[in-house]
Amino acid sequence: MRWKELLFVSSCLITQISCHQTGQPNRNNRSFTIDYGMNTFVKDGVPFRYISGSIHYFRVHPNHWEDRLKKIRSAGLNAIQVYVEWNSHEPEPGKFQFEGNQDLERFLELAHKWGLLVILRPGPFIDAERDFGGLPFWLLQKNKQVKLRTADPSFMKPVRSWFKVLFQKLKRLLHQNGGPIIMVQVENEYGSYGQQTGKCDTEYISQLRDITREHLGQEVLLFATDGGGSIDSIRCSKVPGVYSTVDFGPTEDFKDRFHHQRLFEPHGPLVNSEFYTGWLDHWGHPHSQTPSKKVNSVLDAMLKFGANVNLYMIHGGTSFGFGAGSNFPPFQVTPTSYDYDAPISEAGDLTPKYEDLKRVVAKYEAIPDAIQVKNSSKRAYGSIYLKPLGTIFDHVKNLTTFSMGISTNPLTFEELGQAFGFVLYEHRLDHVTTNPVQLEIKGLHDRGYVYVNQELQGILSRSESIFTMPLIIAKGQKLQILVENQGRICFGKNLNDFKGITSAVKLGNNILTNWHMRSIPVSHVSHFDTTPPSLKTKFKSMSFWKGHIKISCPRSSPEDTFLSFQHWSKGLVFVNGFNLGRYWPRLGPQETLYLPGPLLKCGINDVLVLEQEKTPCRFHKGSWLNCNIKSTDSPQINGQTPSV
């Protein structure tokens, strides 16, 4: 490094003034390192400070990737931080997906195109409020006793296999190879897990470090991040060769948190790897909001202090399909929207928080004026009339992907080889009971719809800790329990979150045995074409409804919209066969689902709804009334929630 650059960096850190990158990089010697003497990153021989933002490619439609990346760069950010979700890339052992929404290479190449460096976070565990923290469910299927996030060989063997495939694809995209990746994270906030479990498996972290270097090379810069509020948390994930960083939000004392980092990294750049621009939501709880003034005033102070900062999130996006996870304790389910109150909204709109952010960043980084960005147009396609297609019982044979003969005890989703959706448990009662009799399922994961001969009797709920209910059932009748997986736990020591019925089923004083099970993942819905003529008025729960959005677009492509489920209860919606996600307006706060324009087409678009509970429809004089959902041009993710 030239003496003038050394003097510049030194003066920046001492006086805490803004530090713009100076000089020209040496393109014959691409590198990204740490100068511990000058407490700074060095990119291609030049002092460097990053201001980055987190974006999840798996939460954004691929047609919108470039738009979102341009908006990030237009705010003056010079890097993005990217999780890699193992689950979505290897949904079955040895079967890898890197196309469409999983085309990670294309996403990173687009970031490179728009001048954004990449901070890669490959896990294998990522949290991110994703099902199972991004781990594939089949880890629990292969070994019920697997010790996740440890050096347990039954965990590390599939991790090694996955990392080999992933890193072979991404090595060419490292900065030193001409690509955008400047840093790679080892695990993810492992210190928290160590504190929660009481075990810090540094051998596990060391193995991940060595695997990463084996495939990406010795020169790649590795880092870890942990909550800056706990010294023990940072200590738990500290191993040689991995640079320790911290994460914290705008309500915390940033100097105190950086002091904690300095206890483990006395020299080197100060880094907040997750500076929270907002926070996550849960169904039934008010929408989280963080004032822009607070976020950006603390950001300004940290940048003036000379720190590197990553904004989590710069753009949150959407947990399409069954991607959303849950938290525990208590058991809380995250909604479909991952807006996160981020500067760029779920639908890609530039919020006032974005404009405030841009003004702060402009003090420290040049804003690329040549990049033109704007909000996408939204369109209200109006009311969508829905017609009934029968209940889940009418279509159970077509929906079932696997049927288990008779098992003494109920089997979990994982034992049945099922990732998401529902499992139907059936038992034919062979004895006389009291009237009523108490049904008890202590290990119900997560929501159970209890039927007797296809007539709904009630709902059991893990999130509400409702595991018992009175039941009227006679000898010879069929007890049917349709269990919904609401998302595996994504954070904490209870990651081994098996779904379905995980305990004995008690009816009075008797433990019920001899169960027949059907896997109903609700992954293929193209066969719903006709209405069973004999069930025109029996749609009390678990009913399918179909409608259409007709779009005429002679001069442009279909535009983004939002589906409103006002007066509906809880369920799933598919548009042209794509699982848009879960709706639950009765619980809130999310009342609309974001529908990206690229999922629509000119002409007729199919909309299929699975209403799990109660519809607003009524049958009158041969016709169904009030069976409408609505396409609107504005979102509502801040609706009413139950009073606590």
Nearest C-alpha neighbor of 411 from the set 455, 428, 467, 402 = 402
Query: Are both 293 and 328 inside the same structural domain?
Result: yes
- For the annotated catalytic residues, the residue numbers are 189, 274
For position 582, what pLDDT does the model report?
98
Query: Are both 451 and 538 inside the same structural domain?
Result: no
Token pair of 251 as six digits: 């309500």
Give tens-digit pLDDT for 32-59: 999 999 999 999 999 999 999 999 999 9
Domain membership of residue 366 (yes or no) is no
The domain that holds 72 is classified in CATH as 3.20.20.80
Query: Are both 346 and 450 inside the same structural domain?
Result: no
For position 538, what pLDDT does the model report?
63
Number of structural domains the chain divides into: 3
For position 623, what pLDDT does the model report?
86
- Looking at 520, 551, 583, which one is the last position of a domain? 520
Domain membership of residue 245 (yes or no) is yes
For position 14, what pLDDT does the model report?
31
Domain membership of residue 43 (yes or no) is no
> What's the whole-model pTM score?
0.94
- Looking at 486, 520, 554, which one is the last position of a domain? 520
Q: Please, are residues 326 and 486 in contact by the beta-carbon 8 Å criterion?
A: yes
Residue type, 544: F
Query: Are both 506 and 572 inside the same structural domain?
Result: no
Query: Are both 473 and 615 inside the same structural domain?
Result: no
For position 622, what pLDDT does the model report?
83
**Exposure string for 508-528, b = 16+ CB within 10 A, e = fewer:** eeeebeebbbbbbbbeebeeb
Domain membership of residue 215 (yes or no) is yes
- Looking at 520, 552, 571, which one is the last position of a domain? 520
Query: Are both 66 and 96 inside the same structural domain?
Result: yes
Nearest C-alpha neighbor of 181 from the set 283, 277, 123, 107 = 107
What residues make up the domain containing 617? 382-389+531-632
Percent share of the chain, pLDDT over 90? 89
Domain membership of residue 557 (yes or no) is yes
Query: Are both 556 and 463 inside the same structural domain?
Result: no
Domain membership of residue 30 (yes or no) is no
Domain membership of residue 15 (yes or no) is no
* Cα Dmax for the chain: 90
Query: Are both 207 and 305 inside the same structural domain?
Result: yes
Query: Are both 514 and 535 inside the same structural domain?
Result: no
Q: How far apart are CA 450 and CA 531, in angstroms?
A: 24
Edge-to-edge strand order for the sheet containing 561-564?
A: 382-385, 628-632, 561-564, 592-595
For position 556, what pLDDT does the model report?
84
Query: Are both 435 and 327 inside the same structural domain?
Result: no
Q: How far apart are CA 422 and CA 482, in angstroms?
A: 7
Domain membership of residue 42 (yes or no) is no
Q: How far apart are CA 132 and CA 80, in angstroms?
A: 24
Q: In which residue ranges of the chain is pLDDT below 70?
A: 1-28, 526-538, 643-644
Q: How far is CA 130 from the centre of its chain?
A: 3
The domain that holds 614 is classified in CATH as 2.60.120.260
Query: Are both 402 and 257 inside the same structural domain?
Result: no
Query: Are both 323 and 415 inside the same structural domain?
Result: no
For position 3, what pLDDT does the model report?
33
